[in-house]
Amino acid sequence: MALPLAHSTLLMDQPRLTGLPGPQQLRIPTPQDLERMRRMRQQQRQRQQQAPLRRVPPRQPQHHTVPPQKQDQLQQQQQQQQQQQQQQQQVLLLYELGLRAADFQRLTESRPEIFQMGIVTMRRKLKYFQDTIGLSNSELTKVIAKFPRILEYKSERTIRPRLEFLRRCGVEQDDLAKVFMRAPMAMELRVKDTLEPRAAFLRDVLCLSSGALGKLIVRHPQVLTCTEEMMRLRVDFLLRQGLSQEEVGRAVLAHPQVLHYKIDSMQERLAYLQSIGLDQAQVAACIFRFPQLFSLNVEANLAPKWRYLVDYIRAPVDGVATLCSYPAYFSLSLTNRVVPRHRYFLHVHSQRQPRGGSNSAASGTQPAFPMSALKCSDTQFAKLCGTPLEEYEAFKAQLFGDGAAGGDTHPT
């Protein structure tokens, strides 16, 4: 006969996971198992609250001898039951926090050692994350699912020194949760040997103030996982393109991911800019104004947008000047932003020409399209054209189909 709750425990009918003592095995609880455990836990609490206090008579000692082999079996069964009960409590605690069956599967596959932790220790760690760092239940759930090893760190010995390091770097208390969620793996790096030298490099080489360094870490805390050599190579690469040290610092602050990109990949983007007519100074200006261009693919982003710019909006000579003044043009969507707005602008202009008179289309010229019309929202663009927003949306839907209509895509 099966024991109650046997199907909802962690100790039944699954492949053995390393790290657990004895014959214990972990079973991935289903959502139904977890909900059943929660209800039974709630019913148990209600019965305890409603049950009257009563004196339990002392048990009379029984004088009989148990064979040593039987004692070992009983002791082993008792240990298994205790561990089973502890793991049930851990699962229920994490379930009430917000973890679900898929999260438990990742936990048991990647860090089964977590379920060897005492329930009191687990509660204390979760409370520390919430009280000290400011993580909500949903945020803490995401961190555990993303980086479960965080539950193995000691609060005072491991977490607190790294939080103090972040505060020294200029990270505000309200932003600690953002750093913790985006890069929990940074909490396992050594403060003296790793984190402090990397922060010193960012502060000294990139000419960042304490406040700027804090903003950089909050925006992209993964920068703390870059070695000094890795960062130095990319800084030197940017300096060779003609940027000053201060400009490199400002570019990194605007787009910290530049410290992660492969240099060959960065060189490919710059080679394309030079191939379309930009000189070294103009390339440096584009990098400084829009370092995000290193994240854009040449074939999928840079090339088609350049072709549309010089074929339909500007002459090639003017196209180079346009890119230098507005390199973020490369980040805009052709189908959702550039093409519909450019064509709608020409459409509205042609509709306003007097009938029978000469117009720009008949004379072979087109009105100059203001690049500022690409920077604003759909509502502001329609206002710029002097037409209702609904009219522009209808034109856009007819141009590319309903899939391209609706929703505004802002430049990144």
Query: Is residue 289 over pLDDT 70?
Result: yes
User: What's the average model confidence in pLDDT over 258-271?
Assistant: 97
pLDDT tens for each residue of 74-122: 777 776 676 777 778 888 888 888 888 888 888 888 888 888 888 889 9
CA dist 328 and 99 (Å) reads 40
Please report the pLDDT score of residue 17 as a whole number: 37
Query: Is residue 351 over pLDDT 70?
Result: yes
Please report the pLDDT score of residue 367 as a whole number: 81
User: What's the average model confidence in pLDDT over 241-253?
Assistant: 95
User: What's the average model confidence in pLDDT over 352-376?
Assistant: 71
Please report the pLDDT score of residue 412 as a whole number: 32
User: What's the average model confidence in pLDDT over 383-389?
Assistant: 95
Q: Which domains does the chain have, with CATH numbers?
A: 1-39+81-150 (no CATH), 153-260 (1.25.70.10), 265-328 (no CATH), 332-353+365-412 (no CATH)
User: What's the average model confidence in pLDDT over 334-359?
Assistant: 84
pLDDT tens for each residue of 116-140: 888 889 999 999 999 999 999 999 9
Please report the pLDDT score of residue 274 as a whole number: 97
Please report the pLDDT score of residue 1 as a whole number: 39
User: What's the average model confidence in pLDDT over 3-28?
Assistant: 40
Q: Which residue has the higher pLDDT, 91 or 227?
A: 227
Model pTM above 0.75? no
Per the CB < 8 A criterion, the answer to whether 187 and 153 are in contact is yes
Q: Which residue has the higher pLDDT, 31 or 103?
A: 103
Query: Is residue 16 over pLDDT 70?
Result: no
Q: How far is CA 210 from CA 80, 171, 216, in A?
A: 53, 9, 10
Query: Is residue 341 over pLDDT 90?
Result: yes
User: What's the average model confidence in pLDDT over 141-161?
Assistant: 89
Least confident of 104-118, 249-263, 294-308, 361-375: 361-375
pLDDT band (50, 70, 90) for residue 68: confident
Query: Is residue 356 over pLDDT 70?
Result: no
Please report the pLDDT score of residue 39 as a whole number: 77
Please report the pLDDT score of residue 403 as a whole number: 45
Least confident of 271-285, 295-309, 330-344, 348-362: 348-362
**83-116 CB burial, b ≥16 within 10 A, e <16:** bbebbbbbbbebbebbbeeebbeebbeebbbbbe
pLDDT tens for each residue of 213-223: 999 999 999 99
Query: Is residue 392 over pLDDT 60?
Result: yes
pLDDT tens for each residue of 292-334: 999 999 999 999 999 999 999 988 778 999 999 999 999 999 9
pLDDT band (50, 70, 90) for residue 257: very high
Least confident of 234-248, 251-265, 291-305, 347-361: 347-361
pLDDT band (50, 70, 90) for residue 408: very low
Query: Is residue 258 over pLDDT 80?
Result: yes
Please report the pLDDT score of residue 53 as a whole number: 57
pLDDT band (50, 70, 90) for residue 44: confident
Please report the pLDDT score of residue 66 as a whole number: 62
* pLDDT, the chain, mean: 83
| Percent of the chain residues topping a pLDDT of 90 | 55
